[in-house]
């Protein structure tokens, strides 16, 4: 966590995994503390993961982590990130660790600093606002300004011509109008997909994937035609449709897309065709899916690769699924809970996950599988 190696720091998770290792192994926190207070850069990312891990450790009895985190929240360069970690982890629910923290933080910050850091509907600021008048005033001002922000209009009663005008006019409403047209099954969506003038600088049309998803199998003939159109944007739209609702006849196109993504290490691009391989039961994709599972540096993508493998080759997926129970990504653990073969070790691990304070997102999946196993004879 001192050297954050996540491929995508916005979505790839490591905090609960690393906190679990520290808790089980009883590792000292001095290196983390030294890293936090030695770092003096403007970029907050180098300290983000360390703060997130510290904020989880009190759940497993590491009160020394709270001590370091409190000190950083008061004295640290990126103090607001420490408070954000406390709020996100839910550890603010352990009040004995945080008594007086609000007083200490507020005492050394002016209103401008607080206003820049405060999120009006997030912890710990909602708790701080109860006892800190300065925080409460800023929260109320933020809530008032938020009430004036534009909200998504209800387009359910809009006339088709009005929706078309919203699409051609652009802006935020374009996405909403496209989705509504798709929901109504209006095939004018295809014309918009082919219109280069609607595409952003990246060649994309926000809202188009959602519109096509609403059209469902009704979009398949057009999607198949787009694959060989020579238009990369249309081909990508087409592959998305085939991946989500295509049939076995579309497997060669989707397998080719999966192989291209693997060869170029485009981990995000591999997710949809990987899921499609599982949905369609394409056994020819086993080697690619295993290679993606073993080779990806994008941990969030592993869930798609696991689900794909479970669908197209359950036997080959068995060992990968066992690995998934110990993964750093909750979504991977959830999929592994549902699909792991019934053994004594799996039942023991499910019991751990069902009550793991560091894995609240996995509790339901583990409990659901345990209930299913309880209703069936033990096979392991």
Of 162-166, 323-327, 340-344, 373-377, the one with minimum mean pLDDT is 373-377
Residue 226 near residue 197 (C-beta atoms within 8 A): no
- Residues 19/57, Cβ–Cβ less than 8 Å: yes
CA pseudo-torsion sign 124, 129, 134, 138:
positive
Where in the chain are the domains? 15-146, 159-246, 251-375
pLDDT at residue 150 greater than cutoff 70: no
Angle (deg, nearest 10), helices 208-215 and 172-183: 10
The per-residue pLDDT for range 292-336, each reduced to its tens digit, is 999 999 999 999 999 999 999 999 899 999 999 999 999 999 999
In the block, tokens 């929260």 appear at: 139
Please write the tens of the pLDDT for every residue from 278-293: 999 999 999 999 999 9
**Residues 28-37: what's their mean pLDDT?**
96
Rg over alpha carbons for the chain, rounded to the nearest Å, is 25
Cα 129 from Cα 92, distance rounded (Å): 14
In this predicted structure, the answer to whether residue 92 has a pLDDT above a threshold of 80 is yes
With cut-offs at 50, 70 and 90, classify the pLDDT of residue 380.
Answer: low
């Amino acid at each position: 966590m001192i050297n954050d190696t996540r491929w995508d720091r916005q979505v790839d998770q490591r905090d609960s995994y690393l906190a679990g290792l520290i808790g089980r192994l009883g590792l000292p926190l001095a290196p983390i503390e030294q890293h936090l207070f030695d770092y003096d850069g403007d970029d907050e990312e180098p300290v983000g993961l360390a703060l997130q891990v510290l904020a989880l450790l009190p759940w497993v009895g590491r009160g020394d982590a709270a001590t370091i985190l409190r000190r950083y929240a008061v004295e640290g360069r990126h103090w607001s990130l420490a408070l954000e970690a406390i709020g996100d982890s839910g550890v603010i629910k352990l009040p004995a660790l945080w008594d007086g923290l609000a007083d200490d933080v507020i005492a050394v910050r002016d209103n401008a600093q607080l206003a820049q850091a405060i999120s009006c509907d997030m912890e710990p600021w909602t708790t701080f606002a109860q006892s800190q008048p300065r925080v409460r005033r800023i929260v109320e001002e933020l809530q008032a300004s938020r009430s004036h922000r534009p909200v998504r209009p209800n387009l359910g009663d809009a006339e088709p011509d009005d929706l078309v005008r919203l699409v051609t006019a652009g802006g935020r409403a374009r996405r909403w109008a496209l989705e509504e047209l798709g929901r109504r099954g209006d095939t004018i969506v295809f014309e918009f997909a082919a219109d280069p003038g609607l595409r952003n600088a990246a060649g994309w049309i926000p809202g188009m994937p959602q519109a096509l998803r609403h059209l469902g199998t009704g979009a398949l003939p057009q999607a198949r035609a787009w694959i060989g159109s020579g238009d990369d944007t249309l081909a990508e739209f087409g592959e998305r449709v085939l991946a989500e609702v295509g049939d076995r006849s579309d497997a060669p196109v989707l397998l080719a897309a999966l192989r291209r993504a693997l060869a170029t290490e485009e981990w995000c691009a591999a997710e949809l065709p990987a899921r499609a391989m599982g949905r369609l039961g394409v056994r020819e994709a086993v080697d690619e899916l295993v290679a993606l599972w073993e080779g990806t540096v994008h941990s969030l993508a592993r869930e798609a690769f696991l689900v794909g493998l479970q669908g197209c080759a359950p036997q080959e997926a068995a060992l990968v699924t066992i690995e998934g129970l110990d993964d750093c990504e909750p979504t991977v653990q959830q999929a592994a809970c549902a699909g792991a073969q019934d053994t004594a070790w799996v039942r023991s691990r499910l019991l751990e996950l069902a009550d793991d304070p560091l894995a609240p997102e996995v509790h339901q999946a583990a409990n659901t599988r345990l209930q299913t196993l309880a209703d069936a004879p033990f096979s392991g």
